[in-house]
Amino acid sequence: MESGTKENTSFDADKIREHFPIFFQPENEGLIYFDSAATSQRPREVLTACNNFYEKINANAHRGAYKIAEKATAAFEAAREKTAKFIGAGRTEEIIFVRSTTEAINFVAYGWARKFIGVEDEILVTEMEHHSNLIPWQVAAQKTGARLRFLKMNENGVLPLDQLDSLLSRKTKLVAVTHVSNVLGTVNPVKEIIRAAHNVGAKVVVDGAQSVPHLPVDVVDLDADFFAFSGHKMLAPMGIGVLYGKTALLEEMEPVYYGGEMINDVDYYQSTWNDLPWKFEAGTQNIAGAIGLGAAIDFINSIGIDTIREHDHSLTEYALNELKKIKDLVILGPTENRGPAISFTLGNIHAHDLATYLDQKNIAIRSGHHCAKLVMKKFNVAATARASFYLYNTKSEIDALVHALNEAKGYFSKWR
Amino acid sequence: MALDELYQEIILEHYKKPKNMGLLENADIKVEGKNPFCGDEIELAIKLKDDIIENVTFDGSGCAISQASASLMTEKIKGKSIVEVKKLISTFKKMVKGEDDSQVNRDNLEELLALQGVSEFPSRIKCALLAWNTLLLGLEEKLNKKAGEK
């Protein structure tokens, strides 16, 4: 199906697709992948970089005094440097490699919050958090005796900032907020939230899992205290993630894992910790994963994150417009200033039934609560369908989705 | 696998007009089940007469598969003994998971065979099993309680 609308001329998604082997497997013929908010696909360049590590320089980093170990160490640390530059971190050692966004946030919860938050204190989270930026704070509040408070969202899935005055006080020690909602697509005014939090002396942890793949991010400009994101949603392998933290905070923070590599000096009854970032990187790290993340950043940079943002934005605008034309289709979340994830319900067709139907048309969407049950409660739905886009998606794929949704309505209408 | 084999007419009928919907009063067993993967919920209320399921009703929300499976289940187990029902649960599970079973067991499922197509849709197996796992939980809680009283 042709959309009749011209694709963004500065950007050719069809050409980009050629870098992604998943679309060229015979068994995946016709695959329309609209679940990049769950995990992105990976370009050949990333896969090759990981493979090259194992084939050519496989050795443990920071350990061996031989050539391939030195190359492995250099490649691992080069990936850290690329990552630091990519998000505008002031210092390379402020980049801690972890497994995922979830692990990064848990590092802050265990290493920082449990040390510095007490019974008189408050933790402020928003209603639109993914469980990964909610449950660690629920448990931290339970363990420390701190009070957990909520920044509410309105019916458009936007966080009105006029609540901040009444929610923030000297008691607030930490604010946890997502940069871009994984369900609603809302791009939150994190810079303003951070400024307000800093005014009362609170630290802020930002969940950047849905922002770093799609928008230019500058952690210094945002003035974020902690910033977490995952590699696998931005073309890198699974199992590599990043915790950025300001040097002063990382220095006062406790290690979360203890063991090899994270020590400076070891004695029988006590030990001292290594410098940043290695203080937080106990045990053998996911070196191939980090190198893959570096390759993903190179790939993104070769296109330009601004170009990717424009492409995502034009797809999202187009999809919102086309989806609106479908009767009984309800879109959750804001109509503008949003990331490329669109959650919706279609009449009384359950999201799961809809996803199965679309899968028969080779269209992969997500259905369910998207690990954000508070959002589901707020909008009074048990589950939604979600289509999310990335640099390899095209408008004609969106046309195919719209066509299939109209067909699905016909198919399921015989039920009513 | 064609979609129509998953969404068979009998499944759509039970989804449209579920049987035994709404919760019994004075139930001997009340049990809730959730599918954390998709947010589907179900509540069962069972009235026993000795070891026989005299009546059973359900309430809940979810996709066509989970709702139809619950509705078909309530119809099927009414009047059966707990022992028979436990055997039926295991037979049903085998079917939707696509595991081998004897022809006698399979035939015994009767209308429930309409859910056979689920085995071709691995992500939907949990939907079909929600009501059955909830039932099993309720029966076992009851049996454990009984054993505790003895």
**pTM of the prediction?**
0.93
Considering the domain boundaries, does residue A6 fall inside one? no
Residue B37: list chain A partners with CB under 8 A.
368
Closest Cβ–Cβ partner in B6, B37, B61 for A368: B37
Considering the domain boundaries, does residue A108 fall inside one? yes
Contact between A314 and A8 (Cβ < 8 Å) = yes
Residues A256 and A139 in one domain: yes
DSSP readout, A101-146?
A: HHHHHHHIIIIIIHHH--TT-EEEEETT--GGGTHHHHHHHHHH-P
- Tokens 């998943």 map to which residue? A22
- Closest approach of B119 to chain A, Cα-based (Å): 13
Inter-chain contact A369–B38, Cβ cutoff 8 Å?
yes
Residues A264 and A383 in one domain: no
Residues A54 and A151 in one domain: yes
Residues A245 and A325 in one domain: no
Residues A27 and A69 in one domain: no
Q: Residue A357 maps to which CATH number?
A: 3.90.1150.10
| Last-in-domain residue among A264, A281, A301 | A301
| Last-in-domain residue among A301, A328, A345 | A301
Closest Cβ–Cβ partner in B6, B63, B121 for A350: B63
Residues A30 and A54 in one domain: no
A50 catalytically annotated: no
Residue B41: list chain A partners with CB under 8 A.
382
- Whether A415 has its CB under 8 Å from any CB of chain B: the answer is yes
Inter-chain contact A360–B64, Cβ cutoff 8 Å?
no
Considering the domain boundaries, does residue A247 fall inside one? yes
* Cis peptide leading into residue A277 (ω within 30°): yes
Amino acid identity of A62?
A: H
Contact between B33 and B53 (Cβ < 8 Å) = no
Residues A380 and A406 in one domain: yes
Contact between A161 and A189 (Cβ < 8 Å) = yes
ipTM of the prediction: 0.86
Q: How many CA atoms lie within 13 A of B76 on its CB side?
A: 25
Amino acid identity of A307?
A: T
Considering the domain boundaries, does residue A236 fall inside one? yes
Residues A293 and A392 in one domain: no
Q: What share of chain B is helix, strand, coil (3-state, %, to 5)?
A: 55, 20, 25
Closest Cβ–Cβ partner in A356, A382, A416 for B121: A356
Considering the domain boundaries, does residue A7 fall inside one? no
Q: B89-142: per-residue pLDDT in tens? A: 999 999 999 999 999 998 999 999 999 999 999 989 999 999 999 999 999 999
pLDDT of residue B52: 96
List the Cα angle A169/A171/A176 in 5-degree steps. 80
Number of compact structural domains in chain A: 2
Residues A272 and A365 in one domain: no
Closest CA to A326 of A371, A370, A377, A387: A387
Q: What are phi and psi of B98, to 5 degrees?
A: 75, 25
pLDDT of residue B150: 65
Residue A95: strand pairing partners? A244
Residue B1, pLDDT > 70, answer no
Considering the domain boundaries, does residue A3 fall inside one? no
Considering the domain boundaries, does residue A8 fall inside one? no
Active-site choice (A369, A371, A396, A403) = A371
Q: How far is CA A353 from the centre of its chain?
A: 27
Residues A264 and A313 in one domain: no
Residues A196 and A89 in one domain: yes
- Tokens describing residue A124: 């402020």
| Last-in-domain residue among A301, A332, A356 | A301
Q: What is the pLDDT along chain A (416 residues), one digit of tens a residue?
A: 344 444 445 689 999 999 999 999 999 999 999 999 999 999 999 999 999 999 999 999 988 889 999 999 999 999 999 999 999 999 999 999 999 999 999 999 999 999 999 999 999 999 999 999 999 999 999 999 999 999 999 999 999 999 999 999 999 999 999 999 999 999 999 999 999 999 999 999 999 999 999 999 999 999 999 999 999 999 999 999 999 999 999 999 999 999 988 999 999 999 999 999 999 999 999 999 999 999 999 999 999 999 999 999 999 999 999 999 999 999 999 988 999 999 999 998 999 999 999 999 999 999 998 899 899 999 999 899 999 999 999 999 999 999 999 999 998 887 65
Helix residue ranges per DSSP H, A264-394: 287-303, 305-324, 351-360, 373-378
Judged by phi (left if over 0) then psi (alpha if -120 to 50, else beta), residue A347 lies in left
Nearest chain B residue to A359, by CA:
B3
- A interface mutation test: which of B5, B9, B13, B38 has the most A CBs within 10 A? B38
Listed by number, the residues of chain A in 355-384 with a beta carbon closer than 8 Å to a beta carbon of chain B are: 356-357, 360, 367-369, 373, 376, 382-383
Mean pLDDT of chain B: 92
Considering the domain boundaries, does residue A238 fall inside one? yes
Q: Residue A114 maps to which CATH number?
A: 3.40.640.10
Dihedral sign computed on CA atoms, order A407, A408, A409, A411: positive
Please write down the HEC assignment for all residues of B72-99: HHHHHHCCCEHHHHHHHHHHHHHHHCCC
Q: What residues make up the domain containing A134? A: 47-301
Inter-chain contact A356–B62, Cβ cutoff 8 Å?
no
Residues A110 and A123 in one domain: yes
- Closest approach of B83 to chain A, Cα-based (Å): 33
